[in-house]
Chains A and B, each alone.
Chain A
Amino acid sequence: MAGEKDDLESIAARREEWEEKECRESFGRIPARLPRFSTVSDMEVKALATPADVPNMDYERDLGFPGCYPYTRGAQASMYRGRLWTMRQFAGFGTARDTNGRYKYLLSQGQTGLSVAFHYPTLMGYDSDHPRARGEVGKCGVAIDSLADMEVLFDGIPFDKVTTSMTINGPAAILLAMYIAVAEKQGIGQDAIGGTIQNDILKEYIAQKSWIFPPRPSMRLIVDTIAYCTEHVPRWNTISVSGYHIREAGSTAVQELAFTLADGIGYVQAAADAGLDVDAFAPRLSFFFNAHVDFFEEVAKYRAARRIWARVMKERFGAKRPDSLRLRFHTQTAGCTLTAQQPMNNVVRTTIEALAAVMGGTQSLHTNSMDETLALPSEQAVTVALRTQQIIAEESGVPNTMDPLGGSFFVEWLTGRMEADALEYIRKIDDMGGIIPAVEQGYPQREIADAAYHYQQQLEKAEKVVVGVNKYVMEGKIDIPILKIGEEVEAEQRRRLAALRAGRDGAEAARCLEAVERAARGTENMMPYFIRAVKAYCTLGEIIGVLRRVFGEYKDPGMF
């Protein structure tokens, strides 16, 4: 750690001497393997870090203690000695009934939370019988068209014991309304349910690209969910500000960090502008990061994220409650690091990535299955992925000590460097007028596309290695069993929708949709209208259809 000034000068001087003498001699005999050593994000790293590389670090100011400002060393004082991270495998395929079976299996195997993967039509606000849904039904996630499907999805799953995360953005408010309605049928009030909606539309424009409406009406829906939950659903995480997809789209680690926090700043600003008290809603904002394969870069990223967010919330927004300042996050191992070639190697990659997430202090974790470059996970593959977490949790000893890499000269140097680089990006975005204008100008999108192309070129030149892809390549394919979703799911959903429309009170459904339209044209909070509409079995596509008419649609500018 940073010592006295004289000590640091003497260490720096000795280091120079070491490079001139011992290093020169050693590398004279054994030349360096590479002309340049850099992270997977192509940030050059030092051969050795010493106290002289973190000269200005102040322990109490910059690191502190877990559960204490600026939270660099962890979000809670108890960390994993109290409760392990939530093991939450993202799952969804076929019909609600298919996925309900998978959830019950995962819970029976020791999983501790649910995470819903919706199929593309739900993500984009179309019912399964819409022409744009053809070929997509149940393929990339579970088909949910209405409350009737949600009732089947969570059949036999107690909402007072299990928390649920839903990866849903454009239609997030409506899926939350359905969840509240299912809870009510289980006899559980909305004040008692716990979970998360992703509800992070900014990263959709930036990276994940499952948008519906233009940015400004989308932000209104988000502020409505924040306001509603703050008052009525206090245990609900209203936004999961997500870097995961930014990274998957090809960003560097610093870009993931910077754009995610810039999105977070955008939401806090929007809610504050709407007159909400920052300390009332900020504690329910959560984050979602990627765990890529470059181990130390990832650990440093999580630590830098907590430190930056604590300072931003305190200094920029004047937040006072500790819960407003402390960044909590879910992590998913990086899908983009998995390879179709030699798929069993993916288990090893995922283990390294999961370990980085745990060393970085994640609150919840999804580990990818080895077969995810080929299809949705098979039961066998998802079991290995869950066991990976359980082995880290209960065999490795890693969770026994908080922030075990804190104080490593290299990790502290890297944490500080990533923080500084991310703050530089955030400054640029502020200069553009904030994240919404930056997104409208395509700034983060271009930065990410450039980084993705740069990395691809490094792969082509073998400057970066992916085992089994551009080095240690094997002839022939290694087969593993994969899950297939048949076209019969689409037919089944069409039948269910036809029965639903025939069986419901059509007049009440029409009244509810009219009320949604009126509310959308006005300024009221839309959540109560969505709750009433889903209870009347209006479909997701019908409700979103009304909103499309009022708000318009966002179109891809198609840059490359």
Chain B
Amino acid sequence: MSSTRKLRILVAKPGLDGHDRGAKIVARALRDAGFEVIYTGLHQTPEMIAAAAIQEDVDAVGMSIMSGAHMVLMPAVVDLLRARGGEGIAVFGGGIIPDDDMEALRAKGVKGLFTPGTPLAEIVDWINANVTPRQ
């Protein structure tokens, strides 16, 4: 596959949380920035997200959680991706995430974390700097 192809990003909403304003805005912004974007819709289990990421052959998965379940659900997706041969897929996330939790999430493989008020350009820049097309 050519290394100049568009990056494919899966925007996902894990858990029961219905707050999708942020996820949808980020999905649009990433599309407007030239990425190929797939949005899972709401109420996805970690298994559903990992399966979609593998099946759609994405380069990165971005998750949005506003409900406080991030410490359980985000690492669960990382682990499932690794178990299914998707260890090269970059994982990032956003939502209401206290500072203490951020370090723990980074240690568990959620590399980029964006809290409320983050300019969209910052997320785009992070993807350009940290995500490369998988071979």
Contact = CB atoms under 8 A, between A and B. Distances in A.
B117 A341 contact: yes
B28 interface: yes
Interface in B19-70: 19-21, 23-25, 27-29, 37, 39-43, 45, 67-70
A559 B28 CA distance: 10
Nearest to B11: A560
Q: Which of B21, B25, B42, B115 has the most CB of A within 10 A?
A: B21
A426 to B, nearest CB: 24
A452 B16 contact: no
Nearest to B47: A131
Nearest to B121: A460
Interface stretch (A100-108, A116-124, A257-265): A116-124
A271 interface: no
B96 A374 contact: yes
Given A139-B67, A477-B99, A134 B18 contact: no
Contacts, number: 107
Given A120-B15, A134-B72, A208-B18, A339 B67 contact: no
Contact of A340 (B11, B17, B73, B116): B116
A484 B16 contact: no
A140 B18 contact: no
A135 B69 CA distance: 5
Given A135-B15, A375-B98, A558-B41, A250 B119 contact: no
B94 to A, nearest CB: 11
A558 B39 contact: yes
A556 B43 contact: yes
Interface residues of A, number: 47
B45 A132 contact: yes
A375 B121 contact: no
A268 B28 CA distance: 36
Contact of A373 (B28, B45, B70, B116): B116
By secondary structure, the A interface counts as loop
Contacts of B116: 339-340, 373
B17 A140 contact: yes
Contact of A132 (B16, B21, B121): B16
Given A452-B21, A560-B39, A135 B71 contact: yes
Contacts of A35: none
B120 interface: yes
A120 B17 CA distance: 7
Contacts of A126: 16
Contact of B24 (A210, A341, A560): A560
A124 B98 CA distance: 25
A560 B28 contact: yes
Interface of A: 120-121, 123-124, 126, 131-136, 139-140, 204, 208-210, 248-250, 336, 339-341, 373-376, 449, 452-453, 456, 460, 466, 469-470, 477, 482, 484-485, 487, 555-560
19 contacts: A120-B17, A120-B67, A124-B16, A132-B16, A136-B15, A136-B69, A139-B69, A140-B68, A204-B18, A208-B18, A209-B18, A249-B20, A456-B120, A460-B119, A460-B121, A485-B68, A556-B20, A558-B42, A559-B39
Nearest 9 A/B pairs, CB to CB: A558-B41, A135-B72, A209-B18, A139-B68, A135-B69, A556-B41, A120-B16, A560-B24, A560-B27
